[in-house]
Structure 1
Amino acid sequence: MTPQSVTPDLARTTWAELEPVHTLVYFAPEAASSYAQLGLESQAMGYFAPRCAALGPVGAETVGAVFFVFNPELIRSAVPRVWSLVSPQAVLRARQEVADQALRRALGEETVRSTAVAEAAELARDAALEAGRHVHGRPLFAGHAGLEWPEEPHLVLWHAATLLREFRGDGHVSALLQAGLSPVEALVSHAAGAPGYSTSWLRKSRGWSLEEWDAAVGRLRRRGLVDTDADGAPVLTEEGHALRRDLESRTDALALPAFERLGPEGNARLAELTAPLAETLGAEARPPAAER
């Protein structure tokens, strides 16, 4: 088979199994204590600074542009003040230390040092390096792609998962813009199509007030994309479901170049190797789902 036979669905499966390896660094207990030692005073600083540090000491407007779904006021509560407290380089070092400590604790030394993790790391690195050939229009990915690769296999795997996550995320922002969705509207439409997810957590963690959220529901309702249930919660209409399916399809297609490098067998093997890791990481790396 040729790399062209890799389907968007297969690439999405591979990415989904890799995702918990990356997202662990946001929610592991090691993160809060590590960033607090750096002097990061708030939860917002502890999220925005580690994720945008690869871009340098950028301002709130740049962070808002690349993160997309966050209320600009929440971003301004942390950026650029955070750079008066700590350098991006120090934050990046701390973030990698968090990844190292959290993966060792969650997976165990035997798994971290296993041949399976080493093999998965090399496959994921190949995909991430291929993504680097398609960097244009992907600013957050580009910033991370310019960082030095770690040496230990479990950290290579984590860094590759981070790159592939931001590569996909930048493409998703492009799809949201093409769909004419504002940041808060993107979150509402996501929540409306995902029963069981915490709408309150999505709204509050992204910094939107109830009034701003309800206004977005009203705009989407006028577009025929959402309705509300008996409790007043947004639910997707048939047209809304079609839009969300199109968004995911566009995102999958834009992420595909990274995974084509591996071919069907390489993707299947990477998903097979990382599936047990994702299962072990479990809920610790998977908070209520959200856009971006």
Structure 2
Amino acid sequence: MTQSRPFWRAIEAIHDVVYFAPGAKEKYEAVGLKGYWMGYVASRSAALGTPSPRTVTALFHGFAPAVIERALPDAWSMASRDDVLTTRYDLAREALAPALEGSDTATLVRALTLLLEGLDFAGKPLAAAHADLPAPDDEVGRLSHAATVVREYRGDCHVAVLTAAGLDGCAANALAAAAGLVPPEQRTCRGWSSDKWESAIGRLGARGWVDVTGTITDTGRAARAQIEDTTDRVCAAGFDREATARAITAEGALVEVARRVEQIGALPYPNPTGVPRP
């Protein structure tokens, strides 16, 4: 049995507030980082320590190397890793606390925390790195921590499926853009040059996934749907029976929180992750 799409979309929303909540750029700049993308790259990769641009480019997959190279390794000399991680959790607390009002947060945190114990982290390096971070003492912080591990777990699986399908970071983004899953500015957001983007569209066209205008074809839509279905199956293979049951049990509450996250303005749709509303 695979986890449902609403479950994964809710996890994505709860995790994403550390990037999209109002004031994220300013908070990362307050600890010494420079600009939005340096905050994003450093905060997401700090679980690994102070990794190199090449390592982070490989793990993030969808970003042009130049985007990562503009952030790293400079970020590690401009702000301490601990300060970056602390800021990340502070952002999560500020954004999630209003969305959790009236929820049984303790029960939800317990369900997700126990879910983590039933995951197989083999082949999921970014998820494993976040799982190794000490969980915060407060419930909202622990919820953010657990949601991040689960989100990066699916992300690692998704990268494996994309690369197995022969899609590099640029082609994967171009296909998502053709499918209407991401904002029109996705190319520049992810740092791809117009030449790289056109080349990626050409490769998609050679597979029959887009037409001569770059519009997605029925074959391309089917291929994109197959990628998501395969990602679901790969994720499910790493969930033991108890983890699967806990995901099913927690889904309703997670979806409610995720919807409140959007309502309070902590996460816009569409956004560059390409994940629809739960």
- TM beyond 0.5: yes
Instruction: Return the alpha-carbon distance in structure 2 between the equivalents of residues 217 and 193 of structure 1.
Output: 12
Letter matched to residue 152 of structure 2:
E
Which residue in 1 is equivalent to 2:222? 242
Matches within 5 A, 1:205-220: 205-220=189-204
Alignment identity in percent? 34
Which residue in 1 is equivalent to 2:84? 91
Which residue in 2 is equivalent to 1:127? 115
Instruction: Return the alpha-carbon distance in structure 2 between the equivalents of residues 290 and 272 of structure 1.
Output: 22
CA contact (8 A) 1:57 1:87 kept: no
Which residue in 2 is equivalent to 1:261? 242
1:290 aligns with 2:273: yes
Q: Could you tell me how far 1:291 is from its partner in structure 2?
A: 5.5
Letter matched to residue 290 of structure 1:
T
Instruction: Return the alpha-carbon distance in structure 2 between the equivalents of residues 18 and 183 of structure 1.
Output: 22
What SS does structure 2 have at the residue aligned with 1:188?
helix
- Could you tell me the TM-score, scaled by structure 2's length? 0.90
Letter matched to residue 144 of structure 1:
H
Letter matched to residue 164 of structure 1:
V
* Cα deviation 1:221-240 (Å, max 9, x = unaligned): 11212114xxx4x3222322
Which residue in 1 is equivalent to 2:261? 281
Letter matched to residue 285 of structure 1:
L
CA RMSD, aligned part only? 2.0
- Structure 1: gaps spanning 5 or more residues: 1-6
Which residue in 2 is equivalent to 1:198? 183
1:251 aligns with 2:239: no
Instruction: Return the alpha-carbon distance in structure 2 between the equivalents of residues 30 and 153 of structure 1.
Output: 22
Q: Could you tell me how far 1:30 is from its partner in structure 2?
A: 3.6
Q: Could you tell me how far 1:96 is from its partner in structure 2?
A: 0.9
Instruction: Return the alpha-carbon distance in structure 1 between the equivalents of residues 107 and 240 of structure 2.
Output: 16
Instruction: Return the alpha-carbon distance in structure 2 between the equivalents of residues 156 and 243 of structure 1.
Output: 36
1:70 aligns with 2:70: no
* Cα deviation 1:46-89 (Å, max 9, x = unaligned): 11000000001111000100000100011111101111111222
- Could you tell me the TM-score, scaled by structure 1's length? 0.86
Which residue in 1 is equivalent to 2:149? 163
CA contact (8 A) 1:18 1:274 kept: yes
Q: How many residues align?
A: 271
* Cα deviation 1:141-163 (Å, max 9, x = unaligned): 11101101122222221111100
Point out 4+ residue stretches in structure 1 off by more than 6 angstroms. none
- Structure 2: gaps spanning 5 or more residues: none
What SS does structure 1 have at the residue aligned with 2:211?
strand
Instruction: Return the alpha-carbon distance in structure 2 between the equivalents of residues 122 and 12 of structure 1.
Output: 21
* Cα deviation 1:195-234 (Å, max 9, x = unaligned): 6x4222x111100122221121112111212114xxx4x3
CA contact (8 A) 1:11 1:259 kept: no
1:117 aligns with 2:100: no
Q: Could you tell me how far 1:38 is from its partner in structure 2?
A: 0.9
Q: Could you tell me how far 1:263 is from its partner in structure 2?
A: 4.4
Higher share in helix: 1
Structure 1 residues 178 and 128 mapped into 2: Cα distance closer, same or farther (>3 Å)? Answer: same
Which residue in 2 is equivalent to 1:107? 99
